[in-house]
Amino acid sequence: MGKHVVVVGATGVLGARIAAHLAAAGARVSAIVRDHTRLDGASVFQYALADVTDIAALRLAFASVATTAPIDGVVNATGVVAFGGIGELDDATLAKLLAVNATAPIAMLRESATLLNDGGFFVNISGVVATQPVAGMAAYSASKAAAWAAMS
C-alpha cells in the first residue's frame, strides 16, 4: 500500500493536480477541503471538511484523516492572491490574505507535526514573492513571507 498523503486544498487547480499525481503514483490521498462536491473521486480515498481559516475545524480534519492510516506527508495547496499596495487593500482583504496564506499554513504545520510518521514531510506551496516581493503585491508578498519564515 502507498504512502498516506494529505492534500489540503485538493479541489483547487493546483491541489487537484497534485492529488491526481500522487494517487497515480500509488499514494493514498486524503483531502481536506471546503467543498467535497468538487473532489475528483478517483484521486481521493477520503476527505474531511474544513475552512483553513477555522483553526479548530482544521485540527479536527487532520485528526479525522489520521484515524484511517498514519500520515506520511502533507501538501498545502491553498492560497489567495490580491493585487494592490498596502494602502489600496481594504481590511477584509488584508485579513483574508494573512489568514489563508500565513496563519493557516502555520497551523497546518503545527497540527500535522504530531500526526506525521517518522520521516514524514510537509510541503507548503508558496511563491517567489515570499522572498522577492513584487511591486503592487506587498500584502500578498508579506503573507507568503510570513509562512515561508515559519517553515524555515
Full-model pTM:
0.93
**Residue-range domain boundaries for the chain:** 4-151
pLDDT tens profile 95-136: 999 999 999 999 999 999 999 999 999 999 998 988 898 889
CA-CA-CA-CA dihedral for 94, 73, 13, 90, to nearest 10: 0
pLDDT tens profile 42-55: 788 999 999 999 99
Which pLDDT band holds residue 57 (cuts at 50, 70, 90)? very high
Q: What is the average per-residue pLDDT within 25-45? A: 89
Alpha-carbon distance of 35 to 33, in angstroms, equals 6
Phi, psi (deg, nearest 5) at residue 58: -65, -45
Nearest C-alpha neighbor of 80 from the set 60, 62, 100, 63: 100
Alpha-carbon distance of 145 to 131, in angstroms, equals 6
- According to the CATH classification, is domain 4-151 in 3.40.50.150? no
CA angle 24, 67, 60 (to 5 degrees): 100
Cβ 144 vs Cβ 101: under 8 Å:
yes
